[in-house]
Structure 1
Amino acid sequence: MQSKVSRDQPITNARLTFNQFWENVRAIAGPYWYPTEPGSRAFSEVIRTWSMLVLLVLLIIALVGVTAFNTFISNYLVNVIIEEKDATKFIQTLSIYGVSLICVTFLVGFSKFLRKRIALDWYEWLNNRILSKYLSNRAYYRINFKSDLDNPDQRLSQEIEPITSNALSFSATLLEKVLEMTTFIIILWSISQLIAVVLLTYTIVGNLIAIYITQELNKINQEELELKAEYNYSLTHVRNHAESIAFFQGENQELNIIQRRFSNLLKNAERKINWERGKEIFNRGYQALIQIFPFLVLGPLYINDEIDFGQVGQASIAAGLFANAMAELINEFGTSGRFSSYAERLAEFSNALEAVTKQPENVSTIRILEENHLAFENVTLQTPNYEQVIVEDLSLSVQPGEGLLIVGPSGRGKSSLLRAIAGLWNAGTGRLVRPPLEEVLFLPQRPYIILGTLREQLLYPSTSRQMTDAELKEVLQQVNLQNLLSRVDGFDTEVPWENILSIGEQQRLAFARLLVTHPSFTILDEATSALDLQNEGRLYQQLQDTKTTFISVGHRESLFDYHQWVLELAQDSSWQLVTVQDYRNQKIITHNSTENTRITIDRLPNNESQDQSEILTQKAKSVGLSHKEMTELTFYSIKTIRSKASKGESITDRDGLTRHYDKDLKVWK
């Protein structure tokens, strides 16, 4: 029983592989050739495509027919020359033969042109379809969290066109060569049944060998695609991080990484060369035997006057064309292996784009409501994989024209809150009220610099906005970039801006976009971290003058001067919302408390009888306690303590003492 399972296993694997391949092809080709989704393709475009395909099939049939006709003309021409020796018939037959050869020439040219035209149209549609998926619903962002998918940029730029060209080439060649082989077998059957039978047997054996060689080449081609993608990415990585590498003097390490990936690519290429060598030897030997065989059979028949010389020539031509058709078909099967690899990777990419944009089932998400203000209502934000809570039960509202500063330890999720506002992260519970994203401008710490002119940089993301050069110069003056125009030829100059602008200049350029677009709401994620205090103050003052509502993430104390509220995130997912003045008072009290505590401990180094509870009680009498410290004196959770604090309710600790919340100092006493 065990041996039966092992014998059936290769058949089952082959069937599964073919089924998967067919599913990939249907996913790629189906929407183009058989559109079922409403509005996916115009009916007129579908009719045009099918019309070109039908015309291509007719051209191929005509090409095979004229080629077969030429073998009979060649046979007749030889007989006219050798046996009849009729000059008139020779001229007539030669004229017909010449016209038919001209027809073959035009049929080959037009069929290949039409094949490439169809492939180009398909490539245009498929590229636009995948690109639309990539840039819709922020799939280009979400796909980065799918670690098992490599190099989406290469899949878009290098692996779509070969699918359409290879598919059309393989399909057209398959039809043409099968028709040719069938036609030439019939011609050979009419001359010698023995030759036809032997060629059919020979074809079956040859195909089995070719399939084995092709399968191995398919595996090598698949590895080649992946290794090339890794090698290209390593080179792109160096270009994108050239300055950092230069600072670290990491050229040798980068060279080792690149050479290691290139070495893997070379090893794969060597394997491919070895297999292709065997394939070429097989193809040449296969064709040579087919070309020799008709002479071995027909030579004696002609010597014994059983057939004429023209039939020998015709059989030889038919066998040669049969061999060429078989060789091209085998080559196309080899190419189809590459097509299979491309189709698999593109189908995987397309499915991944659809998967990342679908809302997961049976998970909680933050509900988003679009209104003309910004508020968090009992929002608990988690990481996209739901493994970590970033902030718990957050409730606050930012009034129009106000500024909110988000602070907290590094890695506590300050930027994650901004991602939630933008809708990038929505794992969690609660409700988020925000304006439409068209009214919000995001300024990250490292500004996004587009590939375009200076005018497009300033107008981004609304590059269709119309502004005069004088207006744009005024904007540059406001952000202290008035000297930028002296370094380029004008606003319509396109240069590698990331290379010629420092990070500080890029941050000022991002602020210039703010002054151009005049958004109602602005989100700044350490957007002035590379600026000196003077430039920072100048930009924030202009931000306040625009009367926009803004939220900032930052660590500098100088930012307190431009905001009214501070949201502090703690390590335990708790938070507090206070005015800037109260937050400063808290910092002063905390600093003084730390100094006093240090002095007290120095005076009582061996006092082990004073436990943690007594220390907290003494601290409560003097400077107050945080919510977290109160949990150590009570039986309540930090969430309950925060809730009671927000309502101004009193709470009883473990010693029976009643404590209340002092709203002025925002501490428990």
Structure 2
Amino acid sequence: MREAMQISQENSRTADVALLPLNGFGEGEKSEQAGQQFKVGRVLLQRLRRICSVVVKGSAHEHVGMWYAGLVAGKLAAEVMYYYAGTLPSEFFRVLGDRNLPAFASLLGRCVVVVGLAGSCKAVLEYVGGLIGVSMRQELTRYTHARYLRAPNFYSVATSGTIDNPDQRTTQDIERLTRSGADVLAELLIAPFLIAYYTVQCWKMAGIYGPLAIYIYFGIGAAATRLAMAPIIRQVYIQEQAEGDFRFHHVRTGECAESIAFIAGEDRERAAADRALKAVTGAQRRVLGKQFWLGLLTQVFAYMGSTVSYVIIGVPIFMGSYDDKSGAELSSIISLNAFVSIYLIYRFTSVIELTKRLADVAGYATRVAQLWEELDRLDVEAEADDADSGVSIRDSAVIVARGLDVCTPGGVRLVTELDLEIGVGDSLVITGPNGAGKTALLRTLCGLWRPGGGEVQLAHTNGAPDVLFLPQAPYIIGGSLREQLCYPGLWGGRHAMCFNADIVRILATVGLSHVVDIVGTSNLDYPYTVQAWLRLLSPGERQMMSIARVLFWRPKFVMLDECTSALDACAAEALYRAILDAGITVVSVSHSAHLERFHKRRLSLDGSGGYTLDDVR
């Protein structure tokens, strides 16, 4: 199934390349709705609010909230230290102008203490901010796991191609979002308090026109940077998609290294990897290009602020407000006013500079929120279709199809008006040409694909499906031999105990006794990596392991999709015999005539939507 998922993702990347990089919407979506994806407006604010809500409502919200409140309080306390550190130069101007050595020595000692505290506060706050980012990542990722890694959302999202690279959105995008977002949010929260405080201080020293000039200056800068922000969000989104495609290519080639090596496909894969790399670096260049204009605005705004501060203090000086002050006192006043004005401008500038980081955060948030919104859509769709989905969940020992139309998720009809009933012991083999819909029929009977029409009744026990599906490429996990055999650990609403004797007996039945010998009976719970298992088990032995899982769980029905294709005839027949001896009813897709004798009936698909059903003689 994993291989099929990857092929589906690759196909979706090729087919939808003109759509997905921009918005992830289907072809019928309105362009104005898609255009809202990258604007700084209502949609972005709603997404950011939802992300914050998930963090606050998470299981760890108590300590996240406490740490975040502490971070904001700590930043405000640190600003007090920074303020006192910033006022020290004006006092140095005064004592040096007065040539007062004792006052200079006292001031120097106080300076060391204040600067030391300010530096310590900054280091502690960076550490606390990092811890908050980790906690936020944990909550957002857990929430995404709970929504994504469950039926039927996982299969739908992973195979449909509607959302590109859901794995990257869950891992890398959330990590970058929380790493940058924690500090950005803290800075935005304390900004109003600091701006208000330094506005009052600036007013006291320069009158109302001082802060008023700064506010007008800030308004011009904020308007300019807002216009430059939206293109960055869009380009960050596209860059992350290109990064996901680049990573997917390397993961895919790594998993299929043997097939590539056998056919000498390294040159072709290198060329494809270089193309994916070119897309990534091209996207990075475009992001840098968009960020350049925003950076230019913010840097000019920041450096011009010092000039504005001197204009602010220059007006009262030239108007004679400080004519009664000595040179040392005037220097002290100029230094203090410059600090207050520059710091007020700096606080405004820091808000504007945050827009550059906020643009990156918004790009990551858009990708994460789009995944959640797709999962929301699937949940609503599942609830709406639950009553008339054509799938029965009542306990039953039979699989029934009535007037069943088998269609691909894209709407291509493969089998029409199929009437079929499979009871316990009534094993069925499905045959037909390639593309006739054999695997699609199994997926529909198992409930992975929705019927295009008609009705399907699945076999259930205690309200849970009693059907296992084995694809041609078995899924091998990382973990112990015990976990490998009893994967997924909880199935069909039950959790079965897997004793050492069960492992030895079942693996001997399927021909894998040597695996127990290699691992050792004392190491049945040793957690091996996926790579170790793939090196140990040949393709045929992996298929044997998947059959071993069937013998462990003993479902009423098992659907086998060419799952013995890597085995010789004798080994395949032995596995079929073991399954039937365990009282499990087999529904097989097979091109092997020698396996038909293990079935009672044959369903032959003609590739044009029709079928014939007869007994196996």
TM (norm. structure 1) is: 0.75
1:354 to 347, 351, 376: 376
The answer for the alignment partner of 1:521 in structure 2 is: 557
User: Could you say what secondary structure the match of 2:98 adopts?
Assistant: helix
The answer for the alignment partner of 1:146 in structure 2 is: 160
**Distance change >3 Å, CA 365–CA 342, structure 1 → 2:** same
Shift of 1:151: 0.7
The answer for the alignment partner of 2:176 in structure 1 is: 162
1:416-449 per-residue CA deviation (whole Å, 9 max, x = no partner) reads 3322332112322234141245643322221111
Query: Are 1:388 and 2:410 matched, yes or no?
Result: no
1:19 aligned partner, one-letter code: R
Q: Is the 8 A contact 2:195 2:347 kept in 1?
A: yes
User: Could you say what secondary structure the match of 1:359 adopts?
Assistant: helix
User: Could you say what secondary structure the match of 2:558 adopts?
Assistant: strand
**Distance change >3 Å, CA 218–CA 549, structure 1 → 2:** closer
2:131 aligned partner, one-letter code: R
Q: Is the 8 A contact 1:298 1:312 kept in 2?
A: yes
Shift of 1:246: 2.4
The answer for the alignment partner of 2:529 in structure 1 is: 494
Q: Is the 8 A contact 1:170 1:333 kept in 2?
A: no
1:141-160 per-residue CA deviation (whole Å, 9 max, x = no partner) reads 11145333211111111111
Q: Is the 8 A contact 1:403 1:549 kept in 2?
A: yes
Shift of 1:513: 1.9
1:267-292 per-residue CA deviation (whole Å, 9 max, x = no partner) reads 23333444545555554444333335
Shift of 1:534: 1.0
User: Could you say what secondary structure the match of 2:563 adopts?
Assistant: coil
The answer for the alignment partner of 1:452 in structure 2 is: 479
The answer for the alignment partner of 1:569 in structure 2 is: 605
1:168-187 per-residue CA deviation (whole Å, 9 max, x = no partner) reads 22221123344444433433
Shift of 1:48: 4.6
1:420 to 444, 448, 455: 444
Q: Is the 8 A contact 1:369 1:431 kept in 2?
A: no
Query: Are 1:397 and 2:432 matched, yes or no?
Result: no
2:72 to 44, 52, 57: 57
CA distance, structure 1, for counterparts of residue 447 and residue 362 of structure 2: 37
The answer for the alignment partner of 1:175 in structure 2 is: 189
Structure 2 unaligned runs (5+)? 1-31
1:110-144 per-residue CA deviation (whole Å, 9 max, x = no partner) reads 44444333333222111111111111222111114
Using the aligned pairs only, state the percent identity.
22
Larger CA Rg, structure 1 vs 2: 1
The answer for the alignment partner of 1:211 in structure 2 is: 226
CA distance, structure 1, for counterparts of residue 127 and residue 399 of structure 2: 60
Shift of 1:16: 6.8
The answer for the alignment partner of 2:335 in structure 1 is: 313
2:433 to 392, 406, 409: 409
CA distance, structure 1, for counterparts of residue 609 and residue 506 of structure 2: 41
1:380-416 per-residue CA deviation (whole Å, 9 max, x = no partner) reads 1331455415241413232x33422222333222223
User: Could you say what secondary structure the match of 1:380 adopts?
Assistant: strand
CA distance, structure 1, for counterparts of residue 231 and residue 396 of structure 2: 61
1:560 to 596, 599, 606: 596
Q: Is the 8 A contact 2:75 2:190 kept in 1?
A: yes
1:64 aligned partner, one-letter code: E
User: Could you say what secondary structure the match of 1:148 adopts?
Assistant: coil
The answer for the alignment partner of 1:234 in structure 2 is: 249
Shift of 1:450: 1.5
CA distance, structure 2, for counterparts of residue 571 and residue 360 of structure 1: 33
1:541-593 per-residue CA deviation (whole Å, 9 max, x = no partner) reads 22222122222221211112212222333345344433212xxxxxxxxxxxx
1:155 aligned partner, one-letter code: R
User: Could you say what secondary structure the match of 1:442 adopts?
Assistant: strand
**Distance change >3 Å, CA 438–CA 499, structure 1 → 2:** farther
**Distance change >3 Å, CA 293–CA 122, structure 1 → 2:** closer
1:309-361 per-residue CA deviation (whole Å, 9 max, x = no partner) reads 22122223334434543443333110111111111111111111222342385
Shift of 1:254: 2.1
User: Could you say what secondary structure the match of 2:421 adopts?
Assistant: strand
CA distance, structure 1, for counterparts of residue 575 and residue 62 of structure 2: 58
Q: Is the 8 A contact 2:404 2:456 kept in 1?
A: no
2:454 aligned partner, one-letter code: T
Structure 1 unaligned runs (5+)? 1-8, 36-40, 582-669
**Distance change >3 Å, CA 67–CA 158, structure 1 → 2:** same
The answer for the alignment partner of 1:546 in structure 2 is: 582
2:237 to 222, 226, 251: 222
The answer for the alignment partner of 2:511 in structure 1 is: 480
Q: Is the 8 A contact 2:470 2:558 kept in 1?
A: yes
Q: Is the 8 A contact 2:477 2:530 kept in 1?
A: no
RMSD: 3.4
1:12-46 per-residue CA deviation (whole Å, 9 max, x = no partner) reads 9899750111222233223443x5xxxxx56xx55
2:422 aligned partner, one-letter code: S
Query: Are 1:533 and 2:569 matched, yes or no?
Result: yes
TM (norm. structure 2) is: 0.80
1:478-534 per-residue CA deviation (whole Å, 9 max, x = no partner) reads 222333456667543335133553321211121222233333332212222221111
CA distance, structure 2, for counterparts of residue 504 and residue 15 of structure 1: 49
2:545 to 475, 493, 509: 509
**Distance change >3 Å, CA 269–CA 367, structure 1 → 2:** closer
CA distance, structure 2, for counterparts of residue 487 and residue 211 of structure 1: 63
1:203-247 per-residue CA deviation (whole Å, 9 max, x = no partner) reads 333333333443443333222112212222222222232233223
**Distance change >3 Å, CA 483–CA 465, structure 1 → 2:** same
User: Could you say what secondary structure the match of 1:460 adopts?
Assistant: coil
1:378 to 394, 402, 408: 402
Query: Are 1:440 and 2:467 matched, yes or no?
Result: yes
Shift of 1:55: 3.3
1:461 aligned partner, one-letter code: P
2:433 aligned partner, one-letter code: P
CA distance, structure 1, for counterparts of residue 613 and residue 231 of structure 2: 64
CA distance, structure 2, for counterparts of residue 72 and residue 63 of structure 1: 14
1:25 to 33, 45, 48: 48
Superposed, 1:12-161 pairs within 5 Å as 17-33=40-56, 41=58, 46=61, 48-72=63-87, 74-83=89-98, 85=100, 87=102, 89-90=103-104, 92-161=106-175
User: Could you say what secondary structure the match of 2:163 adopts?
Assistant: coil
Shift of 1:95: 4.8
Q: Is the 8 A contact 2:403 2:454 kept in 1?
A: yes
**Distance change >3 Å, CA 280–CA 50, structure 1 → 2:** closer
Q: Is the 8 A contact 1:74 1:97 kept in 2?
A: no
Q: Is the 8 A contact 2:459 2:466 kept in 1?
A: no
Q: Which has the higher contact order (CA 8 A, sep 6+)?
A: 2
User: Could you say what secondary structure the match of 1:159 adopts?
Assistant: helix
